[in-house]
Structure 1
C-alpha cells in the first residue's frame, strides 16, 4: 500500500462544537466536522474506506471504520474536490480525531491518505 509515487490527495478538516445537539443534555459533547478532500494528482482516485481514531481528554478512545463516507464512495477527478460534513460525540469537552482514507487508483491499486490530528473542543475551554 505504501507506494512512493502515490497520487497527491490533500485532506482539510474544520470542526466545531454543537451546543444545541440533544447529546448536550446527556453530559456528552457533540461536534460537527467538515472535510474537504482535494485531488492534486493527474489521475482520478476513489475513496473506498475510512478509519478514524477518536480520543477524549479522559483517555477514552474509539475506532470507527467502514466503507466510504456519509454513504458514498466518491470518485474524485484530477483537480477536483469532494466535501462532506459528519459528526462525533465524546464524553468530555475536549478531544481529538485523526485517521486515514483508503483510496484506489484507476489501476485498482490502493493507497492511504492520512488525516492529521484535529481538535474537538468546546469554545473557550482551552486557554
Structure 2
C-alpha cells in the first residue's frame, strides 16, 4: 500500500494484477486498484475531478481526466472515508500510475489539488 496526505486528505492505494487477454490481436495486461480517500481535515470537502498519468514499461503514457470517480463526486465530512475500485489496461506487464484529485473546501470555497501517490502495477510473472 502507498499513502499520501495533502491538505488533510489521505489517499491510500493498493493495486493487483487481474490477468491478460487479447483485444484487436494485441495482448493487454489488466490491473485493478483500490483507493481510500480519508478526510482528516476539519472541513467538509467534495471531490470534483480526477487526473491520471498512466505509464507502462514500453514508455507509453496515457492521460485520463474526468469528473469525479466511477461516476461519483463524493462529499466527505471530517473523519469520513470514501473507497472505490477501478482498473486500467497496459500494453506491458508492468507500469505505474499517479495523479491528483481536484477538490473543493466547503468552508473556504477554495478548490485544491490532492496528490495521488505513484503506485506500481506489475504482474507476478514479470518480477524477479
How far off is 1:112 after superposition? 0.5
CA distance in 2, matches of 1:68, 1:74: 8
Matches for 1:32-71 after TM superposition, within 5 Å: 32-71=32-71
Counterpart in the other structure of 2:118: 117
CA RMSD of aligned residues (A): 1.2
1:24 and 2:21 are equivalent in the alignment: yes
Does structure 1 retain, via aligned residues, the 8 Å contact 2:7–2:114? no
**Structure that is richer in strand per residue:** 2
User: With structure 2 as the length reference, what TM-score do the two structures score?
Assistant: 0.89
Gaps in structure 1 of 5+ consecutive residues: 1-5
Does structure 1 retain, via aligned residues, the 8 Å contact 2:95–2:122? yes
CA distance in 1, matches of 2:97, 2:45: 24
- How many residues end up aligned between the 2 structures? 119
The runs of at least 4 consecutive aligned structure 1 residues that moved more than 4 Å come to: none
Counterpart in the other structure of 1:102: 102
